[in-house]
Amino acid sequence: MRRVVLTGQGAICALGSDVPTITEALREGRSGIGPMAFQDVERLSITIGGQIKGYDPSALFTRQELTLYDRFTQFALIAAAEAMAGAGLHFSDALAEEAGVVLGTAGGGLQTQDENYRSVYEAGKNRVHPFVVPRLMNNAAASHVSMRYNLQGPSFTVATACASSNHAMGQAFNLIRSGVSRVILAGGSESMLCFGGIKAWEGLRVMSKDGCRPFSADRNGMVQGEGAAVFVLEEYEHARARGADILGELVGFAMTSDASDIVMPN
Amino acid sequence: MSDTVEQKVIQIIAEQAVMEPAKVDLTSTLEDLGIDSLGVVETIFSIEETFDISVPFNANDPDSSPFDISDVGSIVDAVKELVTAKAG
């Protein structure tokens, strides 16, 4: 069995748009939760979330790119860029042919769905942009990461609700451990903070109106955030041979399911 | 009106090709301008939105579509025809 190490990491969320900023905020105990801003938010009873503020996609992506990138894809690419810069890897030849990406997501391109359902149902338009399907599909983020970094090996998306990214990491881990590939980018991306996304969650009646307090006696629900995190998982000998900075080692992974209830873990 | 159609179509194509409209020639093909198959579909969408028309175009088989996209001039002519048909 091969050993699997982490040689790059990247993230974006309400606390910041890179790992050092987010790490500092976590260390300081800062909260990224606050009032959300998007169309029709006033029609919701849940109005707080971990929304990324001051975000300007046009500063990071070209107009052509943005026609194909849902917000969840944009976040994945931002996190992947930081992870790749940290790892110092470039993919070509044999390494490119086996390198891959496994990302988790639950909602996929939900913002694209929301905008376009709004357009055809509410605004009564009879035409949507031709790239709605490639924008909204759950594997869009993983596919764009693969194209940006020339990852020609396994490229796919894992969807297991809140466990998606964790399971994506597990799949990546196994791909390297078993010798399928020497490098896999893994992590996940989510962006459900739009009217339809939050309205659906309101329906479940599990959302808190005032804050996120896990394990606290006065906890009254969950709060949604958005963002992405991507790690570079690399085969240990490969990382060592190139003198990579090793951030940590993954030593095991297992998956189970309680096979009992669709919303309530037992 | 027809000149306006031509200008608007050239504007749409120029935007897809990321170049100045003045550099788009009526004899250029979309391929010459570096517009790939996804760009073609986006161009058709922009034309439909701009002129509020429905363009008969099948991306699976562009050559057999009634809408002739062989060069910029043919697209302009086809759009003029659709706009005229719509005006009745």
Hey, is the C-beta of A67 within 8 angstroms of any chain B C-beta? yes
- Token pair 């003029």 in the structure block, residue: B80
List the single residue in A67, A127, A131 with the smallest CB-CB distance to B48.
Answer: A127
Q: What is the pLDDT of residue B1?
A: 52
Residue A142, Cα to own-chain centre: how many angstroms? 9
Q: What is the pLDDT of residue B40?
A: 92
Contacts of B48 in chain A (CB under 8 A): 127
Q: What is the pLDDT of residue A39?
A: 96
Q: What is the pLDDT of residue B64?
A: 80
C-alpha–C-alpha distance, residues B46 and A93, integer Å: 39
The residues that bridge with A188 in the sheet, in sequence order, are: A104, A229
Residue A239, Cα to own-chain centre: how many angstroms? 25
Q: What is the pLDDT of residue B88?
A: 80
Counting runs of H as helices and runs of E as strands, what totals does chain B give? 3, 0
H-assigned helices in A33-70: 63-66
Q: What is the ipTM of this complex?
A: 0.78
Grade residue B16 by pLDDT with cuts at 50, 70 and 90: very high
Percent of chain B's residues with pLDDT above 70: 97
Q: Do B49 and A67 touch (CB under 8 A)?
A: no
**Residue A61 to chain B, least CA–CA distance (Å):** 15
- Residue A3 or residue B36, greater confidence: A3
Chain B residues with CB under 8 Å of a chain A CB are 18, 38, 41-42, 44-45, 48-49
Q: How far is CA B78 from CA A128, A254, B61, in A?
A: 22, 60, 17
Mean of per-residue pLDDT scores for chain B: 91
Q: What is the pLDDT of residue A209?
A: 95
Return the closest-CA partner of residue B30 out of B86, B80, B68, B84: B68
Grade residue B2 by pLDDT with cuts at 50, 70 and 90: low
User: Do the beta carbons of residue A44 and residue A51 sit within 8 Å?
Assistant: no
Q: What is the pLDDT of residue B62?
A: 78
Counting runs of H as helices and runs of E as strands, what totals does chain A give? 10, 8
- Residue B86 or residue A244, greater confidence: A244
List the single residue in A64, A127, A131 with the smallest CB-CB distance to B49.
Answer: A127
Per-residue pLDDT tens over the stretch A29-78: 999 999 999 999 999 999 999 999 999 999 999 988 999 999 999 999 99
Return the closest-CA partner of residue A5 out of A242, A239, A185: A239
Percent of chain B's residues with pLDDT above 90: 75
Contacts of B53 in chain A (CB under 8 A): none
**Residue B27 to chain A, least CA–CA distance (Å):** 25
Domain A4-250 homologous superfamily, CATH: Thiolase/Chalcone synthase (3.40.47.10)
Q: Which positions of chain A have pLDDT values less than 50?
A: none
Hey, is the C-beta of A129 within 8 angstroms of any chain B C-beta? yes
Return the closest-CA partner of residue A192 out of A52, A29, A93, A15: A52
Return the closest-CA partner of residue A21 out of A71, A60, A78: A78
Q: Nearest chain A Cα to B41, which residue?
A: A130
C-alpha–C-alpha distance, residues A195 and A42, integer Å: 9
Domains belonging to chain B, first-starting first, are 2-87 (1.10.1200.10)
